[in-house]
Amino acid sequence: MTQTPERPVRVVKFGGTSLGDAGRMAGTAGIIGQHATEVQLVVVVSAMQKVTGSLLQAATAASRRETDTWQRIGEELKRRHTEVCEALIPAAERPVIQAQIDTELATFHDFCTGFSLVRELTPRSLDSLSSFGEVMSATLMAAILRAGDLDAEAVDATELIVTDDGFGNASLLFEPTREKVRARLAPLLQRGAIPVVTGFRAATRDGSCTTLGRGGSDYSATILGAALPADEIWIWTDVDGMMTADPRLVPEARVIPELSYREAIELSFFGAKVLHPNSLDLPFRAGIPVLIKNTFNPTAAGTEIGGSKPQRPGVRAIASTAEAALFTVSGDRALPFTRLAALVFGWLDADHVSTLVVTQSSAENVLSFAVNRVDAARVRRRLDRERGASLAGVEELPDVGVVVSVGEGMKGTPGIAARIFGSIARLGINIAAIAQGSSELSVSLVVKSSDVAAAVRAMHQEFGL
Ligand code: ADP
Ligand code: ASP
Ligand code: MG
């Protein structure tokens, strides 16, 4: 793709918190204007704050024929988007933009009416409906930028990002995506225009709308960044950067100025919500630095992921999820352990379930694994079905969480495991399973969900984070 050499390309993504209301949208437009003076920009936007959740809630209500609920949500969506339109879009363009918002809301109405007629939600229609918020916010943001004399155009990511048909959490098909991204965005960038792309949404090869999973706009940004390719990707959110722990659990958590890709991947995989778990894979491979910045505090330095700073020793951060389930399966005595493992992982793979933690005892022919709680019912059903054939026993601990210490330098620092276990033992917390990542980048503990917060705080304190 031809780019002006002195204008590097930067993808900037704004989450729902940066798009909460007209005031926040105006602030975000100001930040975009600032970027535009420095680089060639591609903007990615999430839906306005809480909109995706409301759309999903409306769909469920419609399928249960709770008409008042979904209609009330529809009115609230109209009020919030219209308010932004009236506050920030000049009279000349306002009717066109308002008409586009109204078209989306009319489709919302049609979908909900359909759900309530058939009393059913299909994953395919749910993906279209749940990502309307991104279409509306991209339409609004592009118009707000134009009002500020920037050349900007809303682009629907269904024209750019190609996935399989795993509705709700679709998998990327990178090659066709790269072709589409370049073909569609190159002309805009060449004329110096700013594409404002809908996050979260994508489409199958035959054009059905899919989504990249909750929080997927981060992933949209890094997909575009890798496909262009961009020189940098900036994720604008509501915290000063990636922190030493979830700030909602540990109020004294600190911002980490720089992290390696591997450290940040580990943190996002284990629940650091600030980045979608898949979002760093492509930048890691392509060597594109990712910056996390705060729209509420734009002058703060933020976190740089994948920069050139040297690696730091020891534990860098604690990640956690309180929403997991631990399964322990034992094989028939006649079944070799490797066969048991092959069977279990085959089932998990077929059911698209990923594991958080895996431990084993080959001698006793026992395999334990933790999964996200949303996947637990699927695992339970599968194990119940297979139990008679080859499994001697299945146990489930339904209310567990996973607490993970992460740091590239952990392997070179002796005594870390002892300090992790010591800090937990002092609180009398029972550990249900332990795993050290094979990359020696992390140590994961499975504990009761109700012990997660205390375990995170104890480890955070132990390592002086
Ligand atoms: P956005 O709307 O910008 O995508 P999210 O709510 O998805 O924002 O992610 C930002 C939130 O992630 C923060 O407000 C914070 O509460 C949460 N979070 C969890 N763990 C971490 C962490 N280790 N570092 C920073 N934020 C974290
Ligand atoms: N709006 C979507 C969600 O709430 C995507 C995102 O915010 O990243 O999950
Ligand atoms: Mg997010």
Domain annotation covers residue 333: yes
Quote the pLDDT of residue 403. Answer: 97
Claim to verify: residue 98 and residue 219 sit in the same structural domain: yes
Mean model confidence pLDDT for the chain: 94
Neighbours of ion ligand 3 (CB under 5 A): 15, 215
Which ligand has the nearest atom to the CA of 213? 2
pLDDT tens profile 103-126: 999 999 999 999 999 999 999 999
Look at residue 218 in the predicted model and tell me its pLDDT: 98
Q: Indicate whether 271 belongs to any domain.
A: no
Which residues have C-beta within 8 Å of that of residue 6, sequence separation ≥ 6? none
CB contact at 8 A, 214 and 60: no
Q: Output the domain CATH number for residue 103.
A: 3.40.1160.10
pLDDT tens digits, 137-186: 999 999 999 999 999 999 999 999 999 999 999 999 999 999 999 999 99
With 80 as the cut, is the pLDDT of residue 438 above it?
A: no
State both tokens at 27.
């602030």
Give the count of alpha carbons within 13 A of 105, CB side only. Answer: 21
DSSP-assigned letter for residue 326:
E
Q: What percent of the chain has pLDDT over 70?
A: 98
| Domain co-membership, 56 together with 175 | yes
One domain for residues 218 and 103: yes
Nearest ligand for residue 237 CA: 1
Ligand 2: list residues with CB < 6 Å.
15-16, 46-47, 52, 133, 199-200, 214-218
Q: Are residues 79 and 215 in the same domain?
A: yes
pLDDT tens digits, 37-67: 999 999 999 999 999 999 999 999 999 999 9
* CA 98 / ligand 1 centre spacing (Å): 31
Instruction: Calculate mean pLDDT across residues 403-410.
Output: 91
| 391 part of a folded domain | yes
The whole-number pLDDT of residue 3 equals 47
- Which residue's alpha carbon is nearest to atom 6 within ligand 2? 215
Q: Which pLDDT score is estimated for 293?
A: 98
**186 and 69 both lie in a single domain:** yes
- pLDDT at residue 387 in the model: 80
Kindly state whether residues 321 and 227 are assigned to the same domain.
Answer: no
Q: Residue 247, preceding bond cis, omega within 30 degrees?
A: no
* Residues 219 and 75 placed together within one structural domain of the fold: yes
Q: Whole-angstrom Cα distance, residue 72 to residue 69? A: 5
**Which of 237, 267, 298 is where one domain is finished?**
237
pLDDT digits (tens, 9 = 90+) for 201-220: 999 999 999 999 999 999 99
Give the structural domain span for 27. 9-237
- Residue that finishes a domain, picked among 196, 213, 237: 237
In this structure, the residue with its CA closest to atom 8 of ligand 2 is 215
Which residue's CA is the closest to the ligand 1 atom numbered 26?
A: 274
Task: Say yes or no: 90 and 186 in one domain.
Answer: yes
Q: Is 230 found in the same domain as 353?
A: no
The number of distinct structural domains making up the chain is 2
Whether 1 shows a pLDDT value over 60: the answer reads no
Q: Is residue 218, in this structure, part of any structural domain at all?
A: yes
pLDDT of residue 271: 86
What pLDDT is recorded for position 6? 62
Alpha helices (H) along 209-323: 217-227, 261-269, 281-286
Mapped onto helix, strand or coil, the DSSP state of residue 252 is: coil
Confidence of residue 324 (pLDDT cuts 50, 70, 90): very high
Q: Which atom of ligand 1 is nearest to the CA of 241?
A: 25
Predicted confidence at residue 333, as pLDDT, reads 81
- Over residues 304-314, the pLDDT tens digits come to 999 767 667 78
Give me the CATH number covering residue 441. Answer: 3.30.2130.10
Which residue among 192, 217, 237 closes a domain? 237
Which residue's CA lies nearest to atom 9 of ligand 2?
214
53 and 189 inside one domain: yes
pLDDT of residue 2: 46
Q: Looking at the domain assignment, is residue 306 inside a domain? A: no
pLDDT band (50, 70, 90) for residue 391: confident
Q: How confident is the model at residue 358 (pLDDT cuts 50, 70, 90)?
A: very high
Residue 289 falls inside a structural domain: no
Whether residue 344 has pLDDT greater than 90: yes
Please say if the pLDDT value at position 32 is more than 70: yes
Task: For residue 257, tell me if it sits in a domain.
Answer: no
Whether 46 is covered by a domain: the verdict is yes
User: Residues near ligand 1 with C-beta < 6 Å?
Assistant: 15-17, 46, 215, 237-239, 242-243, 245-248, 267, 272-274
268 CB-near residues (< 8 Å, 6+ apart)? 274, 275, 276, 277, 279, 280
Residue nearest to atom 7 of ligand 2 (CA): 215
Do 223 and 337 sit in the same domain of this protein? no
Ligand 1 centre to CA of 268 (Å) is: 10
